[in-house]
Every structure is written in C-alpha cells, then in structure tokens.
A and B are shown apart, each in its own frame.
Chain A
Amino acid sequence: MAERLKATREMKKIMQRYYFEAKNARFIGKKVAWITSGGPVEPLIAMNIIPVYPENHGAMIGASKKGGKLSEFAEGLGYSQDVCSYAKNDITSSITKESPIKGGLPKPDMLICSNNICGTVLKWYEIQARKYNVPLFIYDTPFVHTEFTEEARDYVNEQTKEYVKFLEKVTGKKFNYRRMKKVGRLSIEAMRMWKRVLETAEHHPSPMTAFDAFFHLALIVTLRGKKVVVKYYKTLLKELQERSKENVGAVDEEKYRLLWDNLPIWYRMRWLSQKFASHQAALVADTYTQAWCGVIDYIDEEDFLGTMGEAYTRIHLNVGVDQMAETIKGFIQQYKADGIVMHSNMSCKPYSFGQYDIQHLIRETGIPVLMIEADMTDERKFSQSQIETRIDAFMEVIKQRKQHDYTGN
C-alpha cells in the first residue's frame, strides 16, 4: 500500500491546536458554541465564537473503539438501543467525561442546531441545552422533496436574520458584517479546495481512498471559514497530484473502483481498508465526504449570508431519494465505479432509510450493490465474519463481471 500521506501530520497538529483553543476558550475571552455537523458555522467564525462539534467528537470516540461502552451507559439512563450512537456518546461523555480529549468537550455557551441532517439533533440539543442551561438556536430547514420553493427560501432566510440577532444577543456585540464577507469567501474557497482534493480520485490508480477522505474531512467540517483550512487542503492537493503524476495509487495495483454510501464505520476503518485493498479494490468516492462540497453552486460569493439558507437546506441528507440516486449515478460516471458499498447504519436513519429505493433507482446502471449492516460508532452492531463473507462474495462477483467484459462475453 502507498505510504501514509505526509500532510496527515500537519492535520493532526491543526486539530490538536483547535481543541486546545476550544478547551481554553474562557482564558482567551472567547465563547464556545456546540453545533451540528450540517449547521451554519460561518456566522460563528465571523463573531469570533469557537464552534465545537459533538458529532466530530462522537466519531473520535468511535475511532477509539469506545462507542459501544458509551452507548451502553446511555442505554442505562433509558435511551433506546435505536437512538443515534453519536447522540448517546455525547450525552454519556458530558456526564462521565470519558473521551479521547482529556476531560471531554469544553462546556458550551450556546447550542446551534440545524435539522438538515436529521430529526434526532433537535431532541439531543434540547437535552444538552437543559443540562448546561444555555440558549439554543434551531435553524429549521424544510425537507426538499423535489424542489426548493420560494416559500422555503423566505422561510430559511428569515431564520438567518434571527440567527444573527441571536448571536448579537448572546455575545452582546454587534454582528460583524464586514468580517462575515471574508469568512464567507474563505468558506467557499475551502469547499472548492475540498472538492478538488476529492476529485483527484478520478485518476487511475486513485491517489486516495474514501478512508483518507473520512480522515481529512474533519477540517472542512469543523473549521471552514478559516484560512488554515484552505491552506491545508492546498498542501494535501499538491501531494495527491504528485502521487497521480507518478501513478502511485493508494491501493497497490488497483483493479476495482468502488463507491461508499453513508457514514464510515469508525472503529473498523483499518480492517475495512485492508480488506478491500486485499481484493485490489479502492473506494474512490463516497456520498458522505462529498456532502461538504455538494452545494457550492447555490451560494453567491458576494452575498453569503443571503444565500447560505438555500445551500444548507439542499444538502445530501435533506433531499428526496430521487435526487440522492442522481447524485450517486453522477459519481458512478465521474469516478468510473465498478460497484457500490452501502453501509446500512443503525444510527443514521435519514441516511439508511432510502438505500433500498436508491438501489432500485440505480439498477439501470447495472452496477452491483453490496449492503452491509453496522453502526458508525457502536461496535456491538458489527459482525465481522458475516461482513467478511459479504465483501468476499461481492468482490468475486465484480471480478467475474470484469473478466466477462474483457473477453467480450
């Protein structure tokens, strides 16, 4: 396998610095806002508020293989087995302080919740607002079944105004529109850079896999709107382009190219990446990390605040399955995929619910689809030998199909 990307070390440092600053926010006179992964973060950056992401924290807990344990604790409090494991990890960690970050996440001064990713976040953030006794702002995005209506536009834009007022009230400062413009531009630039990073995987062999994307995603999620993100992705892009120039693939002798749908299985990243690599298969793209650059076209660089409502409403998880299927069909073409791996994620209902419909809608492409059942952080929901058999069988089918293509049968 190709060596680890060199940029990775810098990325770890940036994340460490970020969490260090967030943990010490009080000492540097900054406020901390907890925000959902799809939430409008740019106004926070413009107001010098540090955004903290319980979902990113949840992923870290998953990667450190503690998701099952933390979920179990929350189940003991009365939360159902079916509740999202990010929510359960966060609720548990805010009580027990167990976390890969010493002492857990810094206490929030406010909570910002957008339901463009799911409905669970509403209750989750209400629970935490009560626990920490801090104000909660809900950015309500109507579901885009088929089209984004003018009524929807008015509705979300009105909330952007309320959001600004909310931030002014909590900080006691006037909203900084001049800074907002700058942050908006940086955010768009970061999304464009992220898009270019992901698109390096169009190359055969692909210089990166979805497993790399899952890792490098953290910056665009947590710090978009900051210069450091643009700078980092530029470095990463350069390294990936160099790999492509020299035809160095992330997977040795890449033969098969696959798409991934849904969140990663954080506690089994290495096992899965080795498993696919042993079949000479590279996961060249995924719907999850692409979600952070899928809506660039809806934003007007000159009027970020006035157009972000539409962009935040039309993200991958807030649109109908027809459009999701179209997105996947687009990726199949763009990345020349031989198959799709769908993670049916027990935690994430909005992501997993339509997967069979999507399978049906993309049947015309003739591309085989593998469904594996697991959970993004709860390792109790992962059955290795069953998943191994499914992956092996799926790869055998793909190999057979390709052989037949080559021989013209």
Chain B
Amino acid sequence: MITLGIDVGSLTAKAVLMDGDKIIEKHLISVGYNSKTAADKLLSELLDKAFIERKAIAKVVATGYGRNSIGFADKATTEIICHGKGIHFLLPEVRTIIDIGGQDSKVIVLDGNGTVANFVMNDKCAAGTGRFLDVMARAMETEINDFGPLALKGKNPSEISSVCTVFAESEIISLVAKGEKREDITSGIHFSIARRIVSMVKRVGLIPPLAMSGGVALNVGLIHALESILETPVSTTPLSQFSGALGAALLAQEL
C-alpha cells in the first residue's frame, strides 16, 4: 500500500511516500504564508517526482503546525507522535529524541517499543527554537547552512548570557564591536541554544541513546555543542528533516 506523510511546519513543508516499509520518494519546499497552498504544491511536485498518480496513494496522514488545514489528509497527528515513529523506524535503538522546529522545540522519550512515553516542549518563548538560529545567522551575515561549520571553528566560544532572541541579537552586536572573532561568537550562539535544549532534556530525564531529528539536526555546530554539554553522543540520520513526514507515512500504513 502506498501512503503519504506530510509535515507542514512553520518554515518548511516535507512529504514522504512509502510503499509498505519502503521509502519511495521524498520532497521539501518552503511554506510561505499559506500552509494550504503549500501542501497542494508539495503534493503535485512530489507526484511528478515519483511518477505516480494521486489515486495511487491509499492513505494520507498530516502533521506539523498546518496539520489541520490540509483537506486531502485522512488524519492529523501531532509532530510528537510522528517524530517518535519516524526516528524509531530509522534508528530503532534510540530512546530520547531532540527536535528543534521553527516555533517549537521538543524532547521526546520513547519506551522500549518505540511508543512515546513522555515529552516536553519549550515554553512560549522562541529562544530555544530554530527561529533563534535563523535570527542569529542573519545577525552574523552567514547562510544558515554555513552557520554550523563556522561554529565548529570557534576555539573560545563567546559568552552569550541573554536567553531572549531579541536581546541576544544586541549582545552579539556588542561582541562584534569588542572585536571578538566571528567563529567564537557563532560557537557561543550554538552553545547558548544547546544549554536551553539541555535543560529540557534534563527535565524529561535523558535515556540514552539520544538522537536529533528535524532540519536543525543537519547543523554540525549544534550537534557538537549538545554532545559536549551532555557528554553523550547525539545520533542523526541523513533523513532527519523528513522524520516527521516519515512517521506520518508510517502511521498512514496502519490506517
């Protein structure tokens, strides 16, 4: 049976097509302001890419912030369950998952069967979310894809004390003015967000092995910062950005 998992986040929309337990195609676009039209566009581009027709898809599960506005979905499920499912499929040993999204960060704990046992999400503040990294990369005039590698070059991470996204930006401006190195400031930024995530990990209680899912898992600087604070390895997968959509496609297989 062919199923579709679709994950419409606040920044990007992802889709995964599955046939049984095989991934047949995946696709990603940026959302823009209308999550509904983004979902339609995502679907039609995906169908073209996979050379299949819409009617070949038996079931669709939607997740992410736009999950309830997708008309063609058979079911909407939150990201928590989908990331749990997706990561458990890709990395069956993993018990704790960190996911940093555009608006939300979460830490998910799985039981031995891959079922979500508990989770914790960031408070209302955006400081521990992907948005923080976006804003900071812009302040450092760095492409988001180069941001992590630049952080790895920093030998003496700068101290970023403010947890507020807006104030951290002005703190960075004064660090630049003081002449601190660009890579050290960038490294400091990554440690700052990692500390916020670590406090969430501690709140829910870390059970190793630990993995990171979502697009931010591609950021090597953040993985490094998390590993050095937690003193434990953080696994990732090349499909990390698609793990929510993958989980949704897997759930659709059960429908």
Contacts and interface: CB of A to CB of B under 8 A. Distances in A.
Partners in one complex: yes
A393 B119 contact: yes
B169 interface: no
A196 interface: no
Nearest to A346: B124
A334 B120 CA distance: 26
Interface string A372-409: 01000000010101100110110011001100100001
Contact of B113 (A344, A392, A409): A409
A404 B112 CA distance: 12
A373 B124 contact: yes
A235 B124 CA distance: 42
A392 B65 CA distance: 12
Interface string B164-205: 000000000000000000000000000000000000000101
A131 to B, nearest CB: 34
A386 B122 CA distance: 10
Most interface-central of B78, B115, B119 (chain A CB within 10 A): B78
A381 B121 CA distance: 17
Contact of B79 (A344, A371, A393): A393
Interface string B51-88: 00000000000000100000000000111110000000
Contact of A390 (B116, B117, B121): B121
Contacts of B118: 368, 397
Given A386-B104, A392-B78, A373 B115 contact: no
B80 A397 contact: yes
Contact of A373 (B77, B78, B123): B123
Interface of B: 65, 77-81, 103-104, 113, 115-121, 123-124, 203, 205
Contacts of B120: 371
Given A396-B81, A400-B81, A389 B104 contact: yes
A385 B121 CA distance: 13
A397 B116 contact: yes
B60 to A, nearest CB: 18
8 contacts: A344-B123, A359-B203, A371-B120, A386-B124, A389-B79, A390-B121, A396-B116, A404-B113
A356 B124 contact: no
B69 to A, nearest CB: 11
Contacts, number: 47
Interface string A55-96: 000000000000000000000000000000000000000000
Most interface-central of B104, B118, B203 (chain A CB within 10 A): B118
Given A400-B81, A404-B115, A383 B124 contact: yes
A398 to B, nearest CB: 10
B124 A393 contact: no
Nearest to A359: B203
A393 B203 contact: no
Given A386-B103, A404-B115, A409-B113, A396 B123 contact: no
A389 B78 contact: yes
A353 to B, nearest CB: 14
Contact of B80 (A363, A373, A386, A396): A396
A41 to B, nearest CB: 36
A178 B108 CA distance: 61
Given A344-B123, A397-B117, 15 more contacts: A356-B203, A363-B205, A373-B123, A373-B124, A381-B124, A385-B65, A389-B65, A392-B78, A393-B78, A393-B81, A396-B116, A397-B81, A397-B119, A400-B115, A404-B115
A279 to B, nearest CB: 12
A396 B124 contact: no
Contacts of A363: 205
Contacts of A373: 123-124
Most interface-central of B104, B115, B124, B203 (chain A CB within 10 A): B124
A368 B113 CA distance: 17
Contacts of A397: 80-81, 116-119
B214 to A, nearest CB: 15
Contacts of A368: 117-118
Contacts of B78: 389, 392-393, 396
Q: What 6 A-B pairs have minimum CB-CB distances, sorted nearest first?
A: A393-B78, A393-B80, A392-B78, A396-B81, A397-B116, A373-B124
Interface in A330-388: 344, 356, 359, 363, 368, 371, 373, 381, 383, 385-386
